[in-house]
């Protein structure tokens, strides 16, 4: 909204406001706006959650140290969603379909998480929504977004169905997939990212830290892929995407502003979510963050790079899949109880380290450091093409 105001009628009279027509200016503005909104609204929001007794229900089979967290305000992801949406609407070009597609999927996944959290809070049932129902809803939303993307003219036909491989030149090694397969692949990426972030959200600040790093990384990817700025290399003028041998996607640079808003609101929320947490994000926050990251990966043609930059989320999800798979394959009845083999002391893997005696802050910071390293490696794929 402010973009259209400053760059439109008002900008004609106050010329310096036209600086917000530049993506780089709006990247800074979106991050600062989201951060300030989080700081300003955070205390009020947490007090409202406390007044309504919207507190966390702790797993009975979880680590003993978590029992003291019972009653901590949850559903803080609603604040993340609000600040992200407001900052995006203020500073993005609202004519851009990439922005609307990403924002709608983010909000829709947040709505699923909100329903899940509400059931947990209202009924004091840690299980929340049925797992099958949740997956059906997630795939319906992601599938609808992918179908619209790949069957519409949102992305140019020569790029739309191309599958970019990391560490390679997009012009020569990209795979072209049938539209229906890409719809499936894209849906799996979005739903997988959403649930992987949700699995990671088990310790104070553990999920939001890597989410911030993912937002910063995809900000760079989106800007490079979409910007029309050129450089001269060996006497030839090239876009930055051409120089780095990645797909050039018209209009996707606007997602860099969305990423900046996500980055800013993530830092703002971390202020209250860091150990010991004053508020938890809940599924409303984790699912929306994961959905946003998944959409950013698909729209910037970095579906496989997501396995690197979001590597921490991938490991967390795999630990749950492995633990569940091995237990089901080996389960048996002994003395009237169901028993089976376990690969980890507890899944997701961050709980495994808790069971092994690691202090919570140590786990959080070390996982953040791993995530930072993976983000740098992901950015390194740009130059190693």
| Chain segment 136-176, per-residue pLDDT in tens | 999 999 999 999 988 888 888 778 778 888 877 777 777 78
Q: What backbone torsions phi and psi does residue 74 show, to the nearest 5 degrees?
A: -125, -175
Per-residue pLDDT, averaged over 247-274, amounts to 96
Integer Rg of the chain from CA: 21
Instruction: List beta partners, residue 89.
Output: none
Q: How confident is the model at residue 371 (pLDDT cuts 50, 70, 90)?
A: very high
- pLDDT tens digits for range 101-120: 999 999 999 999 999 998 88
Q: Bin 54: left if φ > 0, else alpha if -120 < ψ < 50, else beta.
A: beta
Q: In whole angstroms, what is the distance from residue 272 CA to residue 280 CA? A: 9
pLDDT band at 63 (very low <50, low <70, confident <90, very high): low
Residues 6+ apart with CB under 8 A from 103: 85, 88, 258
Q: Is the pLDDT of residue 46 over 70?
A: yes
pLDDT at 383: 76
pLDDT at 361: 94
In this prediction, residues 325-346 reach a mean pLDDT of 86
Confidence band, pLDDT 50/70/90 cuts, at residue 3: low
Joined together, the tokens standing for residue 250 give: 């018209």
pTM for this prediction: 0.93
Helix (H, G, I), strand (E, B) or coil at 315: helix
Give 14's contacts (C-beta < 8 A, 6+ positions apart): none
pLDDT for position 71:
73
What is the C-alpha end-to-end distance of the chain, expressed in Å? 38
Mean pLDDT of the chain: 88
Q: Which two tokens stand for residue 16?
A: 């310096």
* DSSP assignment letter at 55: B
Band (pLDDT 50/70/90 cuts) for residue 350 is: very high
Top pLDDT among 205 and 3 is at 205
Taking the C-alpha atoms of residue 248 and residue 266, their distance in angstroms, rounded to an integer, is 28
């Amino acid at each position: 909204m402010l973009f259209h105001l400053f760059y439109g009628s008002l900008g004609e009279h106050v010329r310096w406001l036209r600086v917000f027509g530049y993506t780089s200016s709006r990247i800074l503005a979106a991050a600062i706006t989201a951060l300030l909104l989080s700081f300003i609204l955070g205390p009020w929001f947490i007090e409202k959650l406390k007044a309504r007794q919207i507190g966390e229900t702790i797993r009975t089979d979880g680590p003993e140290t978590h029992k003291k967290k019972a009653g901590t305000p949850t559903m803080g992801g609603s604040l993340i969603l609000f600040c992200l949406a407001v900052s995006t609407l203020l500073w993005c070009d609202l004519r851009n379909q990439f922005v609307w597609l990403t924002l709608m999927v983010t909000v829709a996944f947040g709505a699923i998480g909100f329903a899940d959290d509400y059931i947990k809070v209202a009924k004091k049932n840690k299980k929340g929504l049925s797992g099958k129902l949740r997956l059906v809803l997630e795939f319906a939303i992601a599938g609808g977004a992918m179908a619209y993307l790949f069957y519409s003219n949102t992305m140019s036909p020569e790029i739309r169905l191309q599958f970019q491989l990391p560490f390679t030149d997009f012009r020569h090694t990209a795979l072209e997939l049938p539209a229906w397969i890409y719809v499936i692949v894209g849906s799996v990426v979005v739903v997988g990212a959403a649930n992987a972030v949700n699995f990671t959200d088990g310790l104070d600040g553990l999920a939001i830290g890597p989410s911030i790093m993912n937002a910063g990384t995809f900000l760079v990817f989106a800007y490079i892929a979409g910007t029309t700025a050129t450089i001269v290399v060996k006497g030839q003028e090239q876009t930055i995407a051409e120089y780095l041998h990645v797909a050039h996607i018209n209009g996707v640079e606007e997602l860099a502003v969305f990423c900046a808003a996500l980055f800013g609101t993530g830092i703002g929320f971390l202020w209250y979510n860091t150990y010991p947490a004053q508020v938890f994000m809940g599924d409303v926050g984790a699912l929306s963050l994961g959905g946003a990251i998944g959409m950013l990966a698909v729209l910037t043609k970095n579906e496989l790079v997501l396995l690197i930059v979001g590597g921490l989320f991938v490991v967390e999800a795999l630990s749950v899949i492995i633990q569940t798979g091995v237990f089901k394959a080996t389960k048996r009845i002994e003395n009237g109880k169901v028993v089976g083999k376990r690969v980890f002391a507890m899944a997701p893997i961050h709980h495994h380290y808790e069971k092994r005696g690691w202090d919570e802050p140590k786990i959080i910071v070390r996982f953040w450091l791993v995530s930072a390293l993976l983000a740098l490696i992901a950015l390194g794929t740009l130059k190693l093409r």
